[in-house]
Amino acid sequence: MAQVPSKREGQSVIVIEKNGKTTVISGWRAWLAAAGVFVLVTAVLWVIAFVLLGVAITVGTILLIVVPVIVGVGIVASLFQASRTR
């Protein structure tokens, strides 16, 4: 049997089933909903990326300051300890 094309073929359709109730969103509303979800997901990913970048920069800065200080304290401590053993 040949299938009769429906009016909705080629259109965007979103079907939501909640508590046994089915809601169909089609046409420009479906496109608008999809665009809204896309914008929301993109914004969330950008926020996550900026937070991770901020954490990486903060950890890097702390390491650039703390590691040389620890090395310097270790060198000074070894100098003082060497003078005690003489």
Evaluate whether residue 2 is within a structural domain: no
Report phi then psi at 7, rounded to 5: -65, -25
With a cut of 70, list the residues of the chain below it in pLDDT: 1-11, 82-86
Evaluate whether residue 7 is within a structural domain: no
Evaluate whether residue 39 is within a structural domain: yes
Instruction: Give this prediction's pTM.
Output: 0.61
Domain, as residue range, for 33: 13-85
Which pLDDT value is given to residue 18?
87
Which pLDDT value is given to residue 30?
87
Evaluate whether residue 3 is within a structural domain: no
Distance CA 49, CA 14 (A): 29
How many domains does one find in the chain? 1
